[in-house]
């Protein structure tokens, strides 16, 4: 058993780096009253190409850090971490650390909407190599909606395009077109595309340009935010453990200056950042 405090605390939001800021932004817009601590493991990002064992180890350390900071609820705002670490943390670690704390991911809230959004019942998913090869979206979809046909495409170049501020370059067109053509060549009946990576909302215009007309694109932030709000309504006992002063802290394992500079690609306002170690 642990020695974590039972006192109310901020909502923790974790990502391998910057991408989770797209999710944080939507959560904060919907629920500005809560306190938030965002943690980006920038020193060890990207997680996308890493193995299960490594993503689990890194994510576990990050969650422990946020728990130490007093968070009673942590959102893994990273598809790769949700795909490769969430289940083990929920089943293996939480019961030992503190069964009353919660760690939630971004995959389930996204998958839950699929039956409602897709008319053809043919859904596409794009994500990092780690997320796609884990099969997590495919497994969740098959469990929840076995009648939905899923086709997935790993897009390893899309995150570096965003992080290097190349979203408007011809290189972005090349890689986005290539992967989307490959996806839709496999299943032309796809009518809903899950953007299963936190960075992809920044590529939304280009992605829209290369998907067939009428395809619904699903950036996750708003759905994850709504799902969290619903969760807190359904779980007043957790809501009571969240402090509500409207503060936001941003922690990174890399340089604070670098984080605040690159964060400006993801957020419309400047932020103050603290550097931390988590291993
Ligand atoms: N945040 C990650 C995700 O949503 C993308 C960046 C990375 O590969 O670490 O999958």
Q: Is 17 in the pocket of ligand 1 (CB under 6 A)?
A: yes
Give me 119's structure tokens. 């008319």
Ligand 1 mutation pick, 25, 50, 78, max ligand atoms within 8 A of CB: 78
Looking at residue 1, what is its pLDDT? 47
pLDDT in tens, 219-272: 899 999 999 999 999 999 999 999 999 999 999 999 999 999 999 999 999 999
Looking at residue 2, what is its pLDDT? 59
Residue whose CA lies nearest to ligand 1 atom number 1? 78
| Residue 242: partners with Cβ closer than 8 Å, 6 or more residues away | 8, 9, 10, 11, 34, 35, 72, 73, 232
Catalytic residue check, 155 = no
Residue whose CA lies nearest to ligand 1 atom number 8? 48
Digit-by-digit pLDDT tens for the chain (279 residues) are 456 778 999 999 999 999 999 999 999 999 999 999 999 999 999 999 999 999 999 999 999 999 999 999 999 999 999 999 999 999 999 999 999 999 999 999 999 999 999 999 999 999 999 999 999 999 999 999 999 999 999 999 999 999 899 999 999 999 999 999 999 999 999 999 999 999 999 999 999 999 999 999 998 999 999 999 999 999 999 999 999 999 999 999 999 999 999 999 999 999 999 999 998
Residue whose CA lies nearest to ligand 1 atom number 7? 46
Q: Are 210 and 177 in contact (CB under 8 A)?
A: yes
- For the beta sheet containing 248-252, the strands, ordered from the edge strand earlier in sequence to the opposite edge, are 102-104, 73-76, 11-15, 36-40, 248-252, 273-275
CA-to-CA distance for 116 and 40, rounded, in angstroms? 33
User: Which member of 71, 155, 197, 248 is catalytic?
Assistant: 197
Q: Are 89 and 58 in contact (CB under 8 A)?
A: no
Q: Which atom of ligand 1 is nearest to the CA of 106?
A: 4
**Helix 221-234 vs helix 20-30: crossing angle, to nearest 10:** 50
Ligand 1 mutation pick, 14, 24, 42, 45, max ligand atoms within 8 A of CB: 45
Do β-strands 102-104 and 149-154 pair in parallel, antiparallel, or remain unpaired?
unpaired
């Amino acid at each position: 058993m642990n020695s974590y405090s039972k006192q109310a605390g901020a909502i923790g939001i974790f990502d391998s780096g910057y991408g989770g800021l797209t999710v944080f932004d939507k959560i904060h817009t919907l629920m500005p009253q809560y306190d938030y601590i965002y943690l980006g493991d920038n020193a060890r990002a990207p997680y996308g190409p890493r193995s299960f064992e490594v993503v689990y180890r890194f994510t576990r350390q990050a969650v422990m850090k946020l728990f130490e900071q007093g968070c009673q609820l942590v959102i893994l705002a990273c598809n790769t971490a949700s795909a490769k670490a969430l289940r083990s943390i929920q089943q293996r670690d939480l019961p030992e650390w503190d069964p009353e704390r919660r760690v939630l991911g971004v995959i389930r809230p996204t998958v839950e909407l699929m039956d409602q959004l897709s008319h053809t019942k043919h859904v596409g998913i794009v994500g990092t190599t780690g997320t796609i090869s884990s099969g997590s979206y495919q497994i969740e979809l098959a469990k929840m909606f076995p009648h939905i046909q899923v086709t997935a495409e790993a897009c390893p170049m899309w995150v570096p395009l965003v992080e290097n501020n190349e979203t408007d370059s011809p290189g972005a067109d090349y890689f986005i077109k290539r992967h989307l053509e490959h996806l839709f060549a496999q299943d032309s009946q796809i009518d809903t595309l899950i953007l299963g990576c936190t960075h992809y909302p920044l590529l939304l215009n280009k992605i829209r340009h290369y998907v067939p007309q009428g395809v619904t694109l699903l950036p996750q932030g708003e759905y994850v935010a709504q799902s969290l709000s619903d969760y807190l309504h359904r779980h007043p006992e957790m809501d009571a453990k969240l402090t509500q002063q409207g503060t936001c802290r941003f922690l990174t394992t890399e340089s604070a200056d670098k984080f605040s500079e690159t964060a400006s690609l993801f957020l419309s306002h400047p932020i103050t950042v603290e550097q931390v170690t988590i291993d």
